[in-house]
Amino acid sequence: MFKIFKRLTAISIVFFLVLFIYASIGISGQDELPTGQTLSEVKTRVLSTLENEMENAGFRWGAPVFLRIFKDVKFPGGYRAYGRRNKSYGENGVLEVWVQRNDQFCLFRSYAVCYFSGSPGPKTEQGDYQSPKGFYFVTPQRMNPYSSYHLAFNLGYPNVYDRAHERTGSALMVHGNCCSVGCYAMTDPKIEEIYLLVEAALSAGQPFVRVHIFPFPMTDENMEAAEGSQWIDFWKNLKEGYDFFENNKVPPNVEVSNRRYIFKVEEVAPAAFPVAGSPSPQAHPGDALD
């Protein structure tokens, strides 16, 4: 009987050891950043210069980043039904990269969006040629160095808000190749820098990168010009998140309640700011937005 007990104990120990190793591999694999030949080539060509530019601008390489996209910085300018190509900054679409310095985020660089589609309204269904607007985030699993569009990361549309409004669609990205329907397409040199900045932050421990997408800068003047639109209530909700960042220079925690976005302050001391404006480890953004 004793020999049988010893044998069962040994088997149990081996079984739980295998389970522990498997679980550990699974957990680490979830946060592992993908790599590939294209990304390796880009790093060889771009990384050193970009690191120096970050340092010269007073930022630490790998510091937390926050992305903000405006579909039209010249609102209330006109739209075509779909398809708009932009050649320089200030001409419609802009993607901003903000980097944490001390306890606030500061603008590092603005990039012209090379191509997008649709109107200032939200994306509502698969195949509507619309680019999403709202509050999204990028995790390591959403980085795609194997993209057919040079480099890409998935925005995570539809999020909880989108699904609460029964909106459909998938694989909405920020990517290169300056060609897309529904995504935000950059030129290849621009997506290379953006991708490396996001990857560096994730690699340094930022669990996710927030991406806030607006149809236009949500200033009081622009909102007044937008009165009468069928989307004015949606835009007013977006403006709450826009104003939060404008006033605090820290992105808010974003949740969804009663089919509306709500915005909360994260109580984090400046000295303990690994990721300013992010949920605590117990409150992953997936609880609210994914």
Neighbouring CB atoms inside 10 A of 205's CB total 11
Residue 281 has pLDDT above 50, yes or no: no
pLDDT higher than 60, residue 86: no
Give the highest mean pLDDT range of 1-15, 217-231, 267-281.
217-231
**Catalytic residue selected from 114, 150, 178, 183:** 183
Q: What pLDDT does residue 202 have?
A: 98
Over 70: is that where the pLDDT of 20 sits?
Answer: no
pTM metric for this prediction: 0.81
- Tell me how many degrees the CA angle 199-201-205 measures, rounded to the nearest 5: 115
- pLDDT classification of 117: cutoffs 50, 70, 90: confident
**Residue 284 is among the residues annotated as catalytic for this protein:** no
Q: Categorize the per-residue pLDDT at 265 as very low, low, confident or very high, splitting at 50, 70 and 90.
A: confident
Quick: pLDDT tens for 179-227. 988 899 999 999 999 999 999 999 999 999 999 999 999 999 999 999 9
In this predicted structure, the answer to whether residue 123 has a pLDDT above a threshold of 70 is yes
Q: What pLDDT does 47 receive?
A: 98
Cβ atoms 224, 81 nearer than 8 A: no
User: What is the length of the chain?
Assistant: 290
Lowest mean pLDDT among 33-42, 167-176, 233-242, 277-286: 277-286
The predicted pLDDT at position 76 comes to: 61
pLDDT, residue 246, reads 98
The mean-pLDDT minimum among 30-44, 50-64, 158-172 falls in: 30-44
Provide the residue type at 282 as one letter: Q
Strands (E) across the chain are located at 65-70, 84-85, 94-101, 104-112, 115-116, 134-138, 143-144, 152-154, 173-175, 184-185, 209-214, 253-257, 260-264
pLDDT in the model for residue 27: 39
pLDDT of the residue at 192: 98
Residue 261 Cα distances to 10, 82, 135, 255, 256, angstroms: 53, 27, 9, 6, 5
Q: What's the whole-number average pLDDT of the chain?
A: 83
262-286 average pLDDT score: 49
Residue 175 known to be catalytic: yes
Active-site position among 175, 178, 179, 212: 175
- Higher-confidence position of 101 and 288: 101
Cα–Cα nearest to 183, from 278, 120, 106, 118: 118
Q: Is 104 exposed, middle or buried (0-12, 13-18, 19+ CB in 10 A)?
A: middle
The CA-based dihedral angle spanning residues 7, 13, 16, 17, taken in that order and rounded to the nearest 10 degrees: -130
**Is the pLDDT confidence value at 278 over 70?**
no
Buried b (16+ CB within 10 A) or exposed e, 231-246: eeebbebbbebbebbe
CB atoms within 10 A of CB 260: 14
| Structure-model confidence comparison of residues 115 and 277, the more confident one | 115
- DSSP codes joined into one string, 59-113: --TT--EEEEEES-TTTT----SS-EE--STTSS-EEEEEEEETTEEEEEEEEE-
CA 179 to CA 127: how far, in whole Å? 16
For 148, phi then psi, to 5°, come to: -70, -10
The arithmetic mean of pLDDT across residues 3-24, rounded, is: 47
Out of 66-80, 207-221, 227-241, pick the least confident: 66-80
According to the model, what pLDDT value does residue 92 have?
81
Residue 135 has pLDDT above 80, yes or no: yes
